[in-house]
Structures are given as C-alpha cells and as structure tokens.
Amino acid sequence: MRVLVTGGAGFIGSHVVEALTASGHEPVVFDVRADPAADVRDPEAVARALAGVDAVCHQAAMVGLGTGFGDAAEYVSRNDLGTAVLLAAMAGAGVRHLVLAGSMVVYGEGRYACPRDGVVRPGPRAVADLEAGRFEPRCPVCGAELAPGLVGEDAPADPRNVYATTKLAQEHLAAAWARSTGGSAVSLRYHNVYGPRMPRDTPYAGVASFFRSALARGEAPRVFEDGRQRRDFVHVRDVAAANVAALRAGSAPGALTAYNTGSGEPHTVGEMARALADAHGGPAPVVTAEYRLGDVRHITADSSRLRAELGWKPEVGFAEGMREFAACR
C-alpha cells in the first residue's frame, strides 16, 4: 500500500514511516521540514502528493500546550485548516483511508469516581486552588475527594486548552469527511508519547523532553504541582505500530472510529522524572508546586479496545523505555 505520511519527517511521523516500510508498505513523506513547499495547508501541494496514494497517516500538527492564547490562530491554522485542506484533497483524489494522529487531550480531565456520587466530571481547576497547592479536583456535587480511573473512548469530550480544542475539531472534520465520501477514518488518541527524536528545547515539547534536556545540562528536572499527576507514557515505536495496525484494519466505511493509544500502565509525572534522573545519573528532580492553567490533573487511558479490535499491544515497558530515552542524544 502506498501511504502518504504528513509530518513524516517529525518525531512520531518518522517512526511511522519506518514501521510502514518494515511492514511492506511504501510511505511517502510530506513534511515542511523535508521540503518547505510541503505545507498541508497548500491545496495544490497536497493534491500533488496524493497522486497514486492509497491511504494517509496524518501526523502533521502543531502540538503541546504552547505559550498562551496568543498561539490560538496558529494552532487552528496548522491543525484544523491543514486537516480540512487534506481531507478536501483526499475527497477529490478518491483516497478513502485515513489514520489520524488524535490525542487524549480531547477528554480534558480523566475519569473520576466519588465514594458518594459515583462517576463525576469535575470542572476546570480554579486558580485559587492551584495557587494554594490544592491540585486534586473535588467532587462537583459534594466536594469529596475523588479516585482517578481509566478513560474509555465513550467518555464525553471536554477539551481544556487551545491545542485540545483543535485536536477534537480534527476528529469532527475526519468524521464529516468519512460520512460524505464513504471513507474509513481511524483516530488514534495518543497519550504521552516519548522516545528517540522527541523535540527538545521548545515550548511545545512534552514534559519528558523538558526533563531530559535539563538533565543533559546538569540541572534537576523541575516537576510541576506535587508530581503526583497521573499520565500514560507510551513509547513512540509502539505508537508507530498502532498506526500500521489501524491502517491494516481500517474502520467501518462512512464513520470515524477512535482508539485510545496508551501503554495501559499509569505513572505519575514525578515517577517519570525520577526514572529519567536515575537512568541519567542525576541530579534528582525538584518538585516546584508551579502549574500551567491549561493542564489537567489526571488523564490515563483504557486502551483495551485497540488491543481487542486491532490486535495491538505495547512492546516497550516503562523502565526500559525511560532508560533508552535518557541515553538519547
């Protein structure tokens, strides 16, 4: 199968290209880093790239929380306009298979259970609580402490920042494209992806990259809040393998199917910082109580649907992956 990989020269996209090649597919890289003319927002460039293509793995995106709401127009342009241009070109070219790089950020906060009120959805955290070091959401009904759990794909979407909003819009656009064309669309809702080639020293990089860069400078990783926020750290090679599995399986024509794509093993941000520091040989992390208003407290995935329906499972364990990542140059 000839597969166009948008963002194919990037962190995740380059691993997707390798996984496709290893599986006998023919990847075609479309990325402004490889060719300044390869902008997914350019209809003519996209139309040329789709010639002879059977499917698309859409990895191109502006990622991360960013530096404030001033980034909103750029996020919407790169993520939503770019996706709309790509899908329109796919409709015109008769390409009917799409794998979208989705994200767990569409859920907002994760799943919480109250001992009295059952499963509840806390609202955005208040600045006053964060300033006071009260990081855990409380039950919106009775104010009790909540127990975090795993989020399934049927959970309501509740994006809490600009990036999350654009990722949800990408899914809606893909679903509309599938309905209009009879195409097959899969959204892989990535959790916290890390591994070789991860961007560093940029405001849009992930927290694992920030920690690794600090360690490389001989500085202690600075862990926000109290370090107990839970995430699902999934290795980039496992994410690439999920793309190949999704491409092979497809989805029902005329619909978008979403799959959580995580390791299934929640860890705290503090645990991750300690694992990287230990693998690097120090210095030890410092917990700062700083916060970013757009962050959520806990978000971890139930990835059982991906395992059951596509036969995918993660191969890189947390300890192994962190040791490898700490050694990356």
The C-alpha atoms of residue 258 and residue 151 are separated, in whole angstroms, by 13
Neighbours of 154 (CB within 10 A): 8
- Cβ atoms 62, 105 nearer than 8 A: no
Catalytic position from the list 75, 163, 259, 291: 163
The C-alpha atoms of residue 112 and residue 195 are separated, in whole angstroms, by 29
The C-alpha atoms of residue 186 and residue 11 are separated, in whole angstroms, by 20
What is the bridge-based pairing of β-strands 230-231 and 55-58? unpaired
Per-residue 3-state assignment (H helix, E strand, C coil) for the chain: CEEEEECCCCHHHHHHHHHHHHCCCEEEEECCCCCCCCCCCCHHHHHHHCCCCCEEEECCCCCCCCCCHHHHHHHHHHHHHHHHHHHHHHHHHCCCEEEEEEEHHHHCCCEEEECCCEEECCCCCCHHHHHCCCCCCECCCCCCECEEECECCCCCCCCCCHHHHHHHHHHHHHHHHHHHHCCEEEEEEECEEECCCCCCCCCCCCHHHHHHHHHHCCCCCEECCCCCCEECEEEHHHHHHHHHHHHHHCCCCCEEEEEEECCCCCEEHHHHHHHHHHHHCCCCCEECCCCCCCCCCCCCECCHHHHHHHCCCCCCCHHHHHHHHHHCC
75: annotated active-site residue: no
- Greatest alpha-carbon pair distance for the chain in Å reads 58
Residues involved in catalysis: 163
